[in-house]
Structure 1
Amino acid sequence: MMQLPQLDAPLFLTDGGAETTLVFDDGIDLPDFAAFPLLDDADGHAALTRYFERYASIAERDGAGIVLETATWRANPDWATRRGYDGKRLEAANRKAVDLLLDVRQRFAIPVVISGCVGPRGDAYRPKTIMSRDEARDYHSTQIRTFADTQADLVTAMTLTNIPEATGIIDAAREAEVPVVISFTVETDGRLPSGDALGDAIQAVDRDTDGHPAYYMVNCAHPTHIAPALDPEAAWTKRLRGIRANASKLSHAELDEAEVLDRGDPAEFADDYRKLKARFPQLTVLGGCCGTDHRHVDAVSAAFSG
């Protein structure tokens, strides 16, 4: 099993908001915000390649490593069925997503970590139901086993809203013998959509899984929404290694209703990261989420690469 290089490096970048970039910058229609069908289309495949190469180029320029997430946030059974994919086609899409990043990796002389991206079963902003731990393990295990059978270096569960789904995903990753990172999302008050405090969620998941995740992240929230949830004196914050923030300060509910993309300000975005890292130096995996593009990650990289 690969030793994850981002655990020992002062800075690892990630990519940004893939889906919002593809929709608003490239003009690509993504029903259900699902990017994985692009892997079956030559033009879509090329668009994804350009997207990832732009971020890898920033990291290479500044001498940083980068974690690239496969375009599979929606590539789980429920969402795939809505897009007309059966189990066989879905497995193929997850494998193609890894293959695309393997192709990108060979063109850059920096550490490029390939993460198999696992998304929530339900809506990442307003989950209607919460699975039990066992249900989550069974539901996500097929995708995670597929990633474990590829050259992906780890799996990252993004935009998680509740504790049982996180623990079930970790159980599936443990069974598949693949490293796993858990990334929660928070509302403007710093709490998960389930209502749990971020610290309580991380402590509960670590307790219930014997500290199995490689580390934790927060994504799909603005830095000013994340900061109040963090306590520099709390032991659990040491487990938080990464941030992939939104460009916008809007709430999840407001973003759902927005008809135009709020891109925020890349310089202000980087300054917010600088303030977070000053308080929490263990935050070394840094990138973007909804509304961010290469300019935001460029600004973050410039702020910390020297």
Structure 2
Amino acid sequence: MSPRPRILDGGTATGLQAAGIPIVEPWLTSAALRDAAGRDALEGVHAEFLRTGSDILTANTFRTNTRALSRMGVAEREQADYVHRAVACAVRARRAAGAPHALVAASVAPVEDCYTPALTPDQDSLRREHRWMAAVLADSEADLVLVETQCTRREAVIAVEAAVERGLTAWVSFVVTEDATLPDGDALRDAARACVEAGASAVSANCLPHAAVPRALELLSGLGASVGVYPNLEDRAALDEWEHSAHSLPPALSPAAFADLTYGWATEFGLSFVGGCCGTAPEHISALAAKRLAGAAS
């Protein structure tokens, strides 16, 4: 294990909701990019995660692909601006927090839906749209591309290929069910291996229940790539599987419990990066950073 596994940030949507920005269709987290007040709030979310211990910021490019922006009514000539705004917010937060060595990872989500593989478009559409995103990101200050919350092997591979073609460092992360498969039933290990062969230098699972993490990490290990994980921390007991909530949900784990579990996974599986996604607040990251510091000193 790395003596200091890098710590990702927490949930951008969770932070924005705490800042008073509703996460509703069709804009979702991209609503923060529409005006200066929203971008200031987003920068504040990023900076707080850095101050509490994050080494990697995930830029709010999750819903800035050309398909999503077109659906929101953004003119084609203006779409790249949203990508650049998102990356710029993370870069400014890095300066504001005095964290020059933190990495900015540009999020690349499925072009349709993260949890409904049947909506995944055809191959030609995927190649065209992910190449557009990779070209825009290659002209940004992002340090790497995080192809995340992927629900199909074929889109994940295409997104990784598009990034690598542009000379970008690509990491990939999959949505994982409680059975440690992709939502379409595909084998996690096979999907991750295909992405490594396409050029991904790290593999991960995200937005999965914490109980499913150990099995997912077993499947991701030994593929010749760095491994990480960032589970969903929301208490989703009152919701259907993958159901979206426009409001913040209480965390299923306390900061201390999250830190114990996550650092334990890092130790057992030799993880290179750890963190949390939805429901993960700065308090969780702070507890994890303290746990890492204590572990390094022991």
What is the TM-score with the length of structure 1 in the denominator?
0.86
Q: One-letter code of the match for 2:274?
A: L
Matches within 5 A, 1:59-208: 59=53, 66-107=55-96, 108-207=98-197
For residue 28 of structure 1, what is the amino acid of its counterpart? I
1:44 to 2:38 alignment: yes
- Give runs of aligned pairs for residues 242-281 of structure 1, distance below 5 A: 242-248=228-234, 250=236, 253-256=240-243, 261-264=249-252, 265-281=254-270
Q: Is the 8 A contact 2:172 2:195 kept in 1?
A: no
Structure 2 unpaired stretches of 5+? none
Q: Retained in 2: the 8 A contact 1:135–1:168?
A: no
- CA apart distance, 1:205: 2.6
Secondary structure of the equivalent of 2:7? strand
Identity of aligned residues (%): 28
For residues 244-286 of structure 1, the C-alpha deviation after alignment (integer angstroms, 9 at most, x for no partner) is: 11113648843516676131222222222123123201x1212
Deviation of 1:187 after TM superposition, in Å, equals 1.0
2:234 partner letter: S
Report the aligned-residue RMSD: 2.4
Name the stretch that deviates more: 161-170 or 106-115. Answer: 106-115
SS of the residue corresponding to residue 218 of structure 2 reads coil
Structure 1 position 21 matched with structure 2 position 15? yes
User: Structure 1: which 5+ runs fail to align?
Assistant: 1-6, 60-64
Counterpart of 1:214, as a letter, is S
Give the superposition deviation at 1:9. 6.9
1:134 offset after TM fit, Å? 4.4
| Preserved CA contact (<8 Å) 2:46 2:57 | yes
Output the CA distance in 2 between the equivalents of 1:233 and 1:201: 10
CA shift, 1:140, in A, is 1.3
SS in 2 for 1:188: coil
Q: CA deviation at 1:240?
A: 4.5
Looking at structure 1, the residues matched to 178 and 117 of structure 2 have their Cα atoms a distance apart, in angstroms, of: 16
Deviations along 1:273-306, one digit per CA (max 9) or x if unpaired, are 123123201x121211011111111121111122
Displacement after TM superposition at 1:130 (Å): 3.0
Deviation at 1:133? 4.5
The CA distance in 2 between the partners of 1:294 and 1:215, in whole Å, is 24
Contact kept in structure 1, 2:60 and 2:86, CA below 8 Å:
yes
